[in-house]
């Protein structure tokens, strides 16, 4: 009976589907508990501990995804056999990662999770005492990272063979990651007093990485990829500059405008270079949706709200300054 039970456990550990479920579950719990611990440290004014916790959690997630997620274990019916199979598969994984070509190829799988995770860290840093917002950020981050870990490799390996629903889920994950990154970048810019050029360059870099990751997912390696990424990055940087100049202190709505432009750019680029079915009607459709989103955001935003200027006596943030 005991041997039979061991065999059942071994079968579950070796089965690719069960192994994937275990790895994803560990990823979800690590992200959730790690960010919760970081949030508590931040609320206690322990900034150094907050940064260390975030760093070590991310380091564990990278190692876990890099070396455990794709282990190829052989069948074994004893703990000794499982242990031997595990170390053999782990050594093979290390040899795979050491090769330059494979290592550079694998970096594409880390782009989206890294953007999502560190954007969440930035948002937690900006809201150390807003418990409701912190819990929303932590829950959404853990959920998005879990979904990304579950589906990302499947879609990357066989995007065209993946079910339409799966591809749509990954698109929503990318959209969520883009919005989180734009919100964190804009919020940190306002908090740290970063200049316009630096903020525009950060948005350009984020856009470039997001478009590169999306094209990699679609297995598109055309000769115009760098030009496409650059043009889209310049467009988003220009929009970010306008948001920087005219927006108020609500970085969530400002990021929503940048994310809406990102969706429009990605949709047009996808239909043009990947699906190769771009028409004037599709362009009008994306631009119409973009217009509606921008109108809604503008109608709900108070542009007179500003951070108080300590150099101006009796400055009220909601009253126009006649200086």
- Could you read off the pLDDT of 54-80 as tens digits, one per residue? 999 999 988 887 766 665 555 555 555
Q: What is the pLDDT of residue 205?
A: 93
Q: What is the pLDDT of residue 37?
A: 94
* Residue 200 pLDDT class (50, 70, 90 cuts): very high
Dist CA 36 CA 55 (whole Å)? 14
In this predicted structure, the answer to whether residue 202 has a pLDDT above a threshold of 90 is yes
* Residue 141 pLDDT class (50, 70, 90 cuts): very high
Give the contacts of 258 (CB within 8 A, at least 6 positions apart): 182, 186, 203, 236, 239, 240, 243
Give the contacts of 256 (CB within 8 A, at least 6 positions apart): 179, 293, 297
For residue 51, what are its two tokens? 């940064």
In this predicted structure, the answer to whether residue 153 has a pLDDT above a threshold of 80 is no
Q: What is the pLDDT of residue 23?
A: 79
* Span 245-254, average pLDDT: 85
Q: What is the pLDDT of residue 162?
A: 56
Q: What is the pLDDT of residue 259?
A: 93
What does the pLDDT look like over 14-55, one tens digit per residue? 555 666 777 788 889 999 999 999 999 998 889 999 999 999
* Residue 82 pLDDT class (50, 70, 90 cuts): low
**Nearest residue to 127 (alpha-carbon basis) of 193, 35, 202, 34:** 35
Dihedral, CA atoms, 314, 316, 319, 320, nearest 10 degrees? 70
What does the pLDDT look like over 155-183, one tens digit per residue? 555 555 555 676 677 778 888 889 999 99
Q: What is the pLDDT of residue 10?
A: 47
The DSSP annotation for 186-250 comes to: HHHHHHHT--HHHHHHHHHHHHHHHHHHHHHHTT---TTHHHHHHHHHHHHHHHHHHHHHH--S-
Q: What is the pLDDT of residue 24?
A: 83
Looking at the chain, the whole-number percentage of residues with pLDDT higher than 90 is: 31
Cβ atoms of 180 and 119 within 8 Å: the answer is: yes
The angle formed by the CA atoms of residues 241, 243 and 246, to the nearest 5 degrees, is: 110
For residue 205, what are its two tokens? 């870099």
Q: What is the pLDDT of residue 206?
A: 93
Cβ atoms of 73 and 19 within 8 Å: the answer is: yes
What does the pLDDT look like over 263-296, one tens digit per residue? 999 888 888 887 788 888 888 888 888 888 888 8
Give the number of other Cβ atoms within 10 Å of residue 64's Cβ: 15
Q: What is the pLDDT of residue 214?
A: 79
When comparing pLDDT for 94 and 258, which is higher? Answer: 258
């Amino acid at each position: 009976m005991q041997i039979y039970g061991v065999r059942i456990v071994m079968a579950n550990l070796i089965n690719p589907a069960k192994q994937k479920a275990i790895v994803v579950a560990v990823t979800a719990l690590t992200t959730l508990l790690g960010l919760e611990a970081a949030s508590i440290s931040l609320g206690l004014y322990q900034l150094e501990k907050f940064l260390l916790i975030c760093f070590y959690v991310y380091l564990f997630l990278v190692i876990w995804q890099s070396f455990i997620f794709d282990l190829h274990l052989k069948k074994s019916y004893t703990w000794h056999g499982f242990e031997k199979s595990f170390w053999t598969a782990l050594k093979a994984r290390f040899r795979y990662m050491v090769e330059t070509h494979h290592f550079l190829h694998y970096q594409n799988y880390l782009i989206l999770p890294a953007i999502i995770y560190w954007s969440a860290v930035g948002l937690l840093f900006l809201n150390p005492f807003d418990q409701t917002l912190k819990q929303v950020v932590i829950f959404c981050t853990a959920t998005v990272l879990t979904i990304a870990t579950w589906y990302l490799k499947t879609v990357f390996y066989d995007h065209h063979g993946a079910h339409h629903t799966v591809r749509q889920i990954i698109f929503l994950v990318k959209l969520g990651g883009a919005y989180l990154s734009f919100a964190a970048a804009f919020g940190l810019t306002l908090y740290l007093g970063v200049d316009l050029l630096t903020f525009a360059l950060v948005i350009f870099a984020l856009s470039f990485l997001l478009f590169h990751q999306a094209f990699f997912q679609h297995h598109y390696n055309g000769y115009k990829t760098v030009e496409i990424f650059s043009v889209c990055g310049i467009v988003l940087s220009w929009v970010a500059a306008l948001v920087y100049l005219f927006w108020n202190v609500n970085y969530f709505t400002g990021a929503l405008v940048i994310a809406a432009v990102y969706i429009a750019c990605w949709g047009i680029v996808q239909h043009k270079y990947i699906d190769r079915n771009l028409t004037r009607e599709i362009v009008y459709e994306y631009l119409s949706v973009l217009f509606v989103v921008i109108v809604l955001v503008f109608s709900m935003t108070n542009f007179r709200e500003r951070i108080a200027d300590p150099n101006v006596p009796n400055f009220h943030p909601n009253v126009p300054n006649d200086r």
